[in-house]
Chains A and B, each alone.
Chain A
Amino acid sequence: MTDLPTPTENASESVKGRSLWADGIRRLRKRGFARVCFVIVLIYFALAGLIFLDEVFGWNIPLFDWQESVGPSYQKPCLEYEWMPEGQEVSQKGWTIFGTDFLGQSTFRKILYGTKTSIMVALFASVISLLIGVPLGAVAGYCRGWVDDAIVWLYTTIGTIPGIILIMAFAVVLRSQTFFGMEIKGITAVYVALGLTSWVGICRLIRGEIIKRKESEYVLAARALGCSNGRIIFLHLLPNVFHIIIINFSLRFVGFIHAEVILSFLGLGETDKPSWGAMIDAARTELARNVWWEMAAATAAIFFISLALNIFGDALRDCLDPKLRTD
């Protein structure tokens, strides 16, 4: 027994508590289903990241080349089909799990590429809305007074306009505008519009939390030590409400993915690259010709990430902050 801990080490160990995050993750581990959902979400994100890197570095991974014609127009999902590629004399054999579209492009590859489109829209929209909502909410809650009044006025005003109208108005107006020499087009208009309109909820939430916590002892201690207000807000208060941001983020993400579908249908989304919304929209004319696979595949892709994110987000909320239950 040579490795007995010294008394001081022992003492410091006994007072060491578990952090909120360690506690939350420990509880999350016990939920098997939530873990499965987390893995599904990770797979979607990894796929989107891989396609992004593939585009940036030009790896030309064949599976991500959605433009290639791999079969005849509107080939049903089947294990083996024969087709004659244009300009060739020999017929080729192939197989497809999700069929092909009008141009003979593989639906499966389009779904994969659509993952990148959707995740990118949702991610950028979330980042924009957090970058606006969190600092505004924190400053409003901490400073109170006229600053608070102004910020509350701003978000009440934005919150008074129905979300769907505001998003569409932003998307319509922002399209093909030029800001600082950059033209806003296609998908950029979608996530800028979503981000600029959706920060109200998180702003209100953070403001309320900061008001609750600004009188706590640790804030008082920080002030007694001479910390500046900015330091107290961003280094002391915000880390303590960070879990709320994460929970909100994970539940908000689903909404953005669904919003992308609607905006694509309205013709405000991506126009020349595949996206899930555009694929579902294409089904309007295709279903009458019995082409169901494109819509089914896109719906399934959206369904699984939404379900996984919803369940994981709920589990995260229950584990990190059960009091936050609002729905």
Chain B
Amino acid sequence: MTAYIIRRLLYLVPIVMGVLLVTFCLFTLVGGDISQQIAGKNADAETIAEIRHEYGFDKPLFLAWDSQFLDHFKKAFTFNFGRALDREKIGEKILRGVGPSLALTVPMFLGTLVISISFSLIVAFLRGTVWDHIIVFLCVAGMSIPYLSFIIFGQYYFAYKLDWFPIFYDPSRPIYLSIILPALIGIVAGLGSSLRFYRTIMLDEIRSDYVRTAFAKGLTSRKVLFKHVLKNAMIPIVTNTVLSIPYLILGSLLLERFFGIPGLGYLMIEAINARDFFVLNAMTFIMALLIAFFTLVTDVCYAWVDPRVKFD
């Protein structure tokens, strides 16, 4: 087991190197020298030279001790990403965004999880009937409506027209007030795909032999569903939950943008609008690191829980 974990940890090294290589190619090689853009259109040559020096665009790309290539790796491994275009430290910006993002995404995720799992158990019970087909059709229909339409309509109707919720995030009021509506919109928009996903998992379980045995020995369907099926379906459910954690930290780009919630999604959108490659670079690296780590955690949990998984 320990050897397995160490081997998996070592396997992280080439992946992290690969991510850094991709971000270097993307933001430094292709994105290139953005000093002209930072300085503005009417800047003179001296200002541009100053900015080039400050952001290190005047250094050689490769083949030097202070090359941009090595600098890119150094920044990533020390988590010192420097300053964003608005002069604020990127590390502080990101740390500040984690809280609001989690405040939005955790209730949203838990709500979707609870609703879709309980519904999927009911649907699994109804399998093959007309209701099953209707619910699956509704799921696909819900998945077919663009996310943006859900948000724009929800914000307009429930916040602007009915005035049940605040339209924008207001720092002076408690945060849960501003979170309710975006979280509800997120749950409704994500329910279709989530329910369909868990329905398939439940159906896979319900077709297996132990369920037939349980029914044969005379257990009620409620007992079979909640005691036997749900317990066995926990493995994919837990996997899915653990793998979702990095995305919870990332927040919801569109919801945060529309409701003005100052989380990491909002930060990303700001960085895109300002063409701030430094923030984008830092975010890409940190998110990739989180995802690689949580994928490892899932694999280790799998090996730990399921004796059939081999350690190699």
Residues on A with C-beta less than 8 A from B153 are: 287, 295
B14, B27, B268: the one within 8 Å of A165 (CB) = B268
Cα distance A299–B143 in the bound complex, in angstroms: 12
* Complex alpha-carbon distance, A311 and B133, angstroms: 12
Count of A interface residues, CB-CB < 8 Å:
48
Q: Which of B129-153 contact A (CB under 8 A)?
A: 140-141, 143-149, 152-153
Asked whether B148 lies within 8 Å of A162 as measured between CB atoms, the reply is no
Residues in A neighbouring B284, C-beta threshold 8 A: 161, 165-166, 169
Q: A144-177 vs B: 1/0 string, CB under 8 Å?
A: 0000000001101110111011101110111001
* Count of A-B contacts judged by CB separation below 8 Å: 124
Contact between chains at A299 and B14 (CB < 8 Å)? no
* Cβ contacts B150-164/A at 8 Å (1 or 0 each): 001100100010000
B219, CB-defined interface residue at 8 Å: no
Please tell me if the beta carbons of A287 and B200 are within 8 angstroms of each other in the complex.
no
Q: Is A78 an interface position by the 8 A CB rule? A: no
Residues of chain B lying within 8 A (CB to CB) of residue A261: 146-148
Q: Of B18, B268, B280, B288, which contacts A153 at CB under 8 A? A: B18
Decide if B152 touches A280 in the complex (CB within 8 Å): yes
Judged by a CB distance under 8 angstroms, whether B30 is at the interface is: yes
Q: How far is the CA of A160 from the CA of B294 in the complex (A)?
A: 10
CA distance A164 to B31 in the complex (A): 18
Residue of A154, A173, A280, A311 with highest tally of chain B CB at under 10 A: A173
- A contact face: mostly helix, strand, loop, or mixed: helix
B272 in the interface (beta carbon within 8 A):
yes
Known contacts: A266-B272, A302-B146. The answer to whether A161 contacts B140 by CB under 8 A is no
Q: Which of A161, A295, A310 contacts B287 (CB 8 A)?
A: A161
B277 on the interface (CB 8 Å rule)?
yes
Name which residue of chain B comes closest to A314, CB basis.
Answer: B140
Q: Please choose the segment from B98-106, B245-253, B297-305 that sits at the chain A interface, where 4 or more of its residues have CB less than 8 A away.
A: B245-253
Residue of B nearest to A166 (CB): B284
A177, B268: Cβ atoms under 8 Å? no
Question: What 1/0 mask marks residues of chain B from 65 to 78 whose CB sits below 8 Å from any chain A CB?
Answer: 00000000000000
Q: Are A164 and B272 in contact (CB under 8 A)?
A: no
Interfacial chain B residues near A169, Cβ < 8 Å: 23, 26-27, 280, 284
Chain A residue contacts of B22, Cβ below 8 A:
157-158, 161
Contact B254 A265 (CB under 8 A): yes
In the complex, what residues of B have CB within 8 A of residue A173's CB?
A: 26-27, 30-31, 277
Inter-subunit contact B287/A162 (CB<8 Å): yes
Report the Cα distance A295→B154, complex, angstroms: 13
Partner of B18, one of A154, A162, A172, A284: A154
Cβ-defined contact, B147 with A262, below 8 A: yes
B48 beta carbon closer than 8 Å to chain A:
no
Complexed CA–CA distance, A75 and B253 (Å): 33
* B residues in contact with A284, CB < 8 Å: 152
Main secondary structure of the interface of B (DSSP, over half): helix
Contacts of B27 in A (CB 8 A): 169, 173
Q: Is there an interface contact between A165 and B145, defined as CB atoms closer than 8 Å?
A: no
Instruction: Decide if B30 touches A177 in the complex (CB within 8 Å).
Output: yes
Report which residue of A254, A314, A327 has the largest number of chain B beta carbons within 10 angstroms of its beta carbon: A327
Beta-carbon contact of A299 and B146 below 8 Å: yes
Interface centre among A258, A276, A288 (most CB of B within 10 A): A258
Bound form: Cα–Cα A173–B284 in Å: 13
Closest CB of chain B to A177's CB: distance in Å?
6
Known: A265-B254, A295-B149, A325-B200. A310 touches B144 (CB 8 A): yes
Q: Is A307's CB within 8 Å of the partner chain B?
A: yes
| Interchain CB contact under 8 A, A157 and B30 | no
Closest to A265 in B: B148
**B252-267 interface with A by 8 A CB criterion:** 253-254
Q: Does B177 contact A (CB under 8 A)?
A: no
Complex contact B291–A160 (CB within 8 A): yes
A164-207 vs B, Cβ < 8 Å mask (1 yes, 0 no): 11101110111001000000000000000000000000000000
State whether A266 touches B152 (Cβ < 8 A).
no
| B140–A164 CB distance below 8 A | no
Check: A281 CB closer than 8 A to any chain B CB: yes
Residue contact A310 to B140, C-beta cutoff 8 Å: yes
Alpha-carbon distance between A153 and B18 when the two chains are bound, in angstroms: 8
Interface readout for B264-276 with A: 1 if CB under 8 Å, 0 if not? 0000110011010
Whether B183 sits at the interface, judged by CB under 8 Å, is no
Q: How far is the CA of A284 from the CA of B259 in the complex (A)?
A: 12
Render A245-267 as a binary contact track against B, CB cut-off 8 A, 1 for contact: 00000000010001001100111
B254 surroundings in chain A (CB, below 8 A): 262, 265
B150 vs chain A, min Cβ distance (A):
9
Q: Is the CB of A165 within 8 A of B283?
A: yes
Q: How far is the CA of A184 from the CA of B212 in the complex (A)?
A: 59
Q: In this assembly, does A268 line the interface, its C-beta being within 8 Å of a C-beta of chain B?
A: yes
Return 18 A-B CB contacts under 8 Å, by A number.
A154-B18, A157-B21, A158-B22, A160-B18, A160-B295, A166-B284, A168-B268, A168-B280, A172-B272, A174-B30, A261-B147, A262-B253, A265-B254, A267-B273, A277-B148, A280-B146, A288-B160, A302-B145
